Amino acid sequence: MTALAETFREHLDVGLAFFYPEVCQLCRTEPAIPGDGYVCAHCRSQVRFIQPPFCERCGLPYPGDINTPFECANCREMELHFSSARSAVVAHDVVRETVHRYKYQRALWFEPFLAGLFLREARPALREHDWDVIVPVPLHSVKQREREFNQAERLATHLSDATGIPLNANLLRRVRPTATQTLLTRPQRAANMRGAFAVRPGVGLDGERVVLVDDVFTTGATTSACAGALQAAGAGEVCVWTMARGL
């Protein structure tokens, strides 16, 4: 971090401390500081990191003792365009609340907390292989204007800085608005995302290995549609990394 950036960060922390006392913004009782994303140690202890065993394709965690690679029934029934999907944590309780407030209420002070969870798992895993570019899942321009930021792009920026893998936030675009996925069934989600993404005109890929980044993975419909668009433009392998995994 440059001296200018460090100075800016210090001033930002002072400003946040003025409006938000150094107390956890979830439980409102335990102490927490801006560098922790205003999430206290007690609330952090409730986060469940995803560890094996999990589906080799979509990363869905499974209880019990499974010692051999396996693919879950959902993946065997779906046409997925990514080679693998991995998530750092389960989208439950503390994580689910912080993601919701971060995305829909502009609670940007949670970003250090969410990015820290993401980097803890994604950074060492990605360093084991050679990847050419990080691409965030894009928002449609209408939703981008409403929200004023793209949470996937912000997480992807943290990941690029931590791994040294170049970020290209302009490669992929959402060419049509889509209904929210929250209340849709698995088949409806896939249909909703069909044809929603495309690589920008005039941009070609030549076998690049792409890390696709989003905030939450649920059925894989969104990331699979993105991966399909990237492969149609000439990308080689596409893997998916998300901060959280819906169960």
Reply yes or no: is the peptide bond before residue 63 cis, omega within 30 of 0: no
Q: How far apart are the first and last CA of the chain?
A: 36
Q: What is the pLDDT of residue 94?
A: 97
Average pLDDT over residues 149-158: 97
Residue whose entry in the numeric block shows the structure tokens 């076998």:
207
Domains in the chain, please, with CATH? 1-45 (no CATH), 79-247 (3.40.50.2020)
Q: Supply the mean pLDDT for the chain.
A: 89
Residue 216 pLDDT greater than 90, yes or no:
yes
Q: What is the pLDDT of residue 15?
A: 58
Average pLDDT over residues 169-187: 78
Q: Residue 194 CB: number of other CB atoms within 10 A?
A: 12
Q: What is the pLDDT of residue 68?
A: 83
Average pLDDT over residues 15-31: 81
Q: Residue 11 CB: number of other CB atoms within 10 A?
A: 10
Residue whose entry in the numeric block shows the structure tokens 């893997």:
239
With beta carbons less than 8 A apart as the criterion, state whether 244 and 90 touch: yes
Residue 157 pLDDT greater than 60, yes or no:
yes
Give the range among 65-74, 108-117, 207-216 with minimum mean pLDDT. 65-74
Q: Which tokens go with 242?
A: 């998300």
Condensed to tens digits (0 to 9), the pLDDT of residues 49-75 reads 999 999 999 999 988 778 788 888 888
pTM here? 0.87
Average pLDDT over residues 168-186: 80
Q: What is the pLDDT of residue 20?
A: 63
Q: What is the pLDDT of residue 73?
A: 85
Average pLDDT over residues 198-206: 91
Average pLDDT over residues 187-195: 75
Residue 4 pLDDT greater than 90, yes or no:
no
Average pLDDT over residues 9-24: 65
Residue 125 pLDDT greater than 60, yes or no:
yes
Give the confidence band of 48 by pLDDT, cuts at 50, 70, 90. Answer: very high
Q: Residue 224 CB: number of other CB atoms within 10 A?
A: 23
Q: What is the pLDDT of residue 17?
A: 59
Give the range among 13-22, 29-38, 119-128, 158-167 with minimum mean pLDDT. 13-22
Q: What is the pLDDT of residue 241?
A: 98
Which of 244, 243, 1, 239 shows the shortest CA–CA distance to 134? 239
